[in-house]
Amino acid sequence: MHVKRAVVGIVLTSVAVVQGDLCGQGSTNVGGNVYCQAVKAIRYDKVGAAGSYKDIVNMAPDGTCTSQPKQFSGALSPLDEELSLHFRGPIHLKQIAVYNLSTTVPGKRSASIAQRRHQHHLFHKTREPAEVVDGDKEKRQYVTATIDGKVVSWLNNYSGTPVAPAASQNPVIVTATINGQVVSWTNNWFGPSTPPSTTPASPAALSATRQASTSILSTSRQTSYTTFTRTATTTAVPSAQPAGAYSVPVPQVAPPPAPIPVAPASLSLAPAPAENAKPEQPHATPSSQPAAGNSGSGVYQRIGYYNSATQTLKNLVFLGNYGGESGSSGVFDFHYGASLAYTGTDGCHGATSPQILSDKVIPSDKEIIVMLGEKCAENSACGYTRPGTVAHHGFAGADKLFLMEFSMPADGTSGFNGDMPAVWLLNAKIPRTLQYGNPECSCWKSGCGEFDVAEALHSGSKFLKSTLHTNKPTGDSDYIMRPTDKPLKLAVIFKSANAGIQIEVLPDSTEFKTRLTTDEIDTLCNSINEKAVSHV
């Protein structure tokens, strides 16, 4: 592992000098890894490239895995697919916040989307979730939505102007991501001229409809997120209504005011058969901002949050490779090893249900995986998942923001992964199939994606390096100083406008608010002296 990394480090150094790193000011070699200068920001540009990877479609009981080619393209592909966020000890997590970007243009309104994995024992790994954008042969299409944590489907039979609302009813701003495009509109639809039946559809009928769907609609404003809060003496309680329950009444949602362009044809959405909807913290999406792509003002909406001091957890879940342990969720077998499972409060063992991570240091060689609170449903964007594993959605989209606060205290251990903390992102398909084991049972080897945010490459290292593992790999020999004595606040920003990824050290005063404008983020980034920025 170290020999291979040494070679990569030297190659990257020669390339990165041309691209704008700080290695021209000098470098040193430690344990076969090249380190140049300490920086406050590492900024990647034009990282995406079209390609394909081997998407796992079956994991047989005898340990044989089947895959098929998965094509991808886009500014940040394949890292615009669902990602999982990973932490390896020793690390003390203080805060985590995840955001999606919402932007609009005149005549069009927008919203945000919400929805990862990594191998570090010997290699690095990442992969991408399938995107459902196929068109129907007919004009009408089935629409699948995740509302209040539940997947529901209905036939898109809306084809006219909505009925005017009664004067007594207040309009509501609706935001949604439809076939990968973010939109928002005023909810001015309050039902057809003939009242619909109030009898809820059967689970079987909804399941069949869901399997036939050709669009995925994720609502930002119309999604209620699981929230955990407990004191040091109470026990975390999982959501009382798991995803997949369909008999819950929901508010009616108006179709967008104009057809939404999709491939291959435009689509006007019928109102959902509705579910009670509220975001992590309700707010209306601004309707007068410039177009998407981070080329103008926009709003990052927070879709998940964790605070160790207050023991607050909102729409996130902590997982680990602890499947099959006594008192744990998930499964274990001798072909694939331990699957994903919920982690206990100490982050070192499995649990039967979601728990809040304690305000303590995660020790060396222990790994925490963070995903969304929403479970994967059959035929969802999660793609294939290992039978019996605990499968949750990752963080999807080409424009997303991760804020985190952590320290990495030295624990003096040595040996495999001893005193080698790391933060990285994986294509979420990797942990949902096989993160550690037979490389033919994971898409990592074929390039579905991994992004190392900040990784110590040898025991006791005070230097944190970044590397990109996709079909267009690259990395940086400049480094961020490891925060051993006090917490560090860090941002990881995915920007589709320049196909870029930015790692930014933030001021200690930075607040992980429920909404952050792109202007606020740009101001934070621009406050860093250019002499402390490495360009890749």
Please give the Cα distance from 200 to 198 (Å, whole number): 6
Share of the chain above pLDDT 70, in %: 60
Q: Are residues 440 and 526 in the same domain?
A: yes
Q: Are residues 175 and 231 in the same domain?
A: yes
Q: Are residues 297 and 240 in the same domain?
A: no
126 lies in a domain?
no
Q: Confidence band (pLDDT; 50, 70, 90) for 184?
A: low
Amino acid 102: pLDDT: 85
Distances (CA, A) of 458 to 34, 78, 342, 363: 12, 28, 29, 16
Q: Are residues 110 and 199 in the same domain?
A: no
- The arithmetic mean of pLDDT across residues 432-447, rounded, is 96
286 lies in a domain?
no
Q: Are residues 254 and 392 in the same domain?
A: no
262 lies in a domain?
yes
Amino acid 448: pLDDT: 96
373 lies in a domain?
yes
- The arithmetic mean of pLDDT across residues 151-174, rounded, is 46
More confident position, 120 or 340: 340
Task: Name, in order, each residue with C-beta under 8 angstroms of 501's C-beta and a sequence gap of 6 or more.
Answer: 43, 44, 47, 76, 79, 451, 468, 492, 493, 494, 495
Side chain identity at 505, as an amino acid letter?
V
Amino acid 378: pLDDT: 80
Amino acid 408: pLDDT: 99
Q: Are residues 486 and 407 in the same domain?
A: yes
Amino acid 190: pLDDT: 45
Burial level of 361, CB count in 10 A (0-12/13-18/19+)? middle
Amino acid 21: pLDDT: 85
Q: Confidence band (pLDDT; 50, 70, 90) for 185?
A: low
Overall pTM surpassing 0.85 (yes/no): no
Please give the Cα distance from 468 to 368 (Å, whole number): 20
Asked if residue 78 has a cis previous peptide bond (ω within 30° of 0), the answer is yes
- The arithmetic mean of pLDDT across residues 5-13, rounded, is 38
504 lies in a domain?
yes
pLDDT tens digits, one per residue of 96-108? 999 999 864 433 3
What order do you get walking across the sheet with 150-155 strand by strand?
A: 150-155, 142-147, 216-219, 172-178, 181-187
Amino acid 28: pLDDT: 93
Q: Are residues 35 and 159 in the same domain?
A: no
Q: Are residues 263 and 304 in the same domain?
A: no
Amino acid 86: pLDDT: 99
Please give the tally of structural domains in the chain. Answer: 2
Amino acid 20: pLDDT: 80
pLDDT at 133 over 60: no
pLDDT tens digits, one per residue of 192-218? 434 434 444 443 443 333 343 333 333
Q: Are residues 71 and 211 in the same domain?
A: no
More confident position, 118 or 345: 345
Q: Which of 251, 267, 283 is the last residue of a domain?
A: 267
Amino acid 437: pLDDT: 93
Amino acid 209: pLDDT: 37
Amino acid 380: pLDDT: 81
Amino acid 147: pLDDT: 55
Amino acid 174: pLDDT: 54
- The arithmetic mean of pLDDT across residues 61-79, rounded, is 95
- The arithmetic mean of pLDDT across residues 513-534, rounded, is 94
- The arithmetic mean of pLDDT across residues 53-73, rounded, is 97
pLDDT at 84 over 50: yes
- Domain extent at residue 411: 2-121+292-535
pLDDT at 472 over 70: yes
pLDDT at 325 over 70: yes
Say how many CA atoms lie within 13 Å of 315 toward its Cβ: 24
Q: Are residues 455 and 349 in the same domain?
A: yes
pLDDT at 224 over 80: no
273 lies in a domain?
no
CB-based contact 244:251 (threshold 8 Å): no
Amino acid 148: pLDDT: 52
- The arithmetic mean of pLDDT across residues 41-47, rounded, is 94
234 lies in a domain?
yes
Q: Are residues 485 and 384 in the same domain?
A: yes
Give the chain's mean pLDDT: 73
287 lies in a domain?
no
pLDDT at 79 over 50: yes
The top-scoring range by mean pLDDT among 180-194, 270-284, 469-483 is 469-483
- The arithmetic mean of pLDDT across residues 166-175, rounded, is 48
Q: Which of 232, 267, 302 is the last residue of a domain?
A: 267
Q: Are residues 116 and 157 in the same domain?
A: no
pLDDT at 454 over 80: yes
- The arithmetic mean of pLDDT across residues 272-284, rounded, is 36
pLDDT at 531 over 80: yes
Helix ranges restricted to H, 276-433: 429-433
Amino acid 111: pLDDT: 37
Please give the Cα distance from 304 to 41 (Å, whole number): 24
**Among residues 395, 353, 418, 87, which one has the least CA distance to residue 218?**
395
pLDDT tens digits, one per residue of 372-416? 999 998 878 899 999 999 999 999 999 999 999 999 999 999 999
The top-scoring range by mean pLDDT among 104-113, 166-175, 276-285, 294-303 is 294-303
pLDDT at 489 over 50: yes
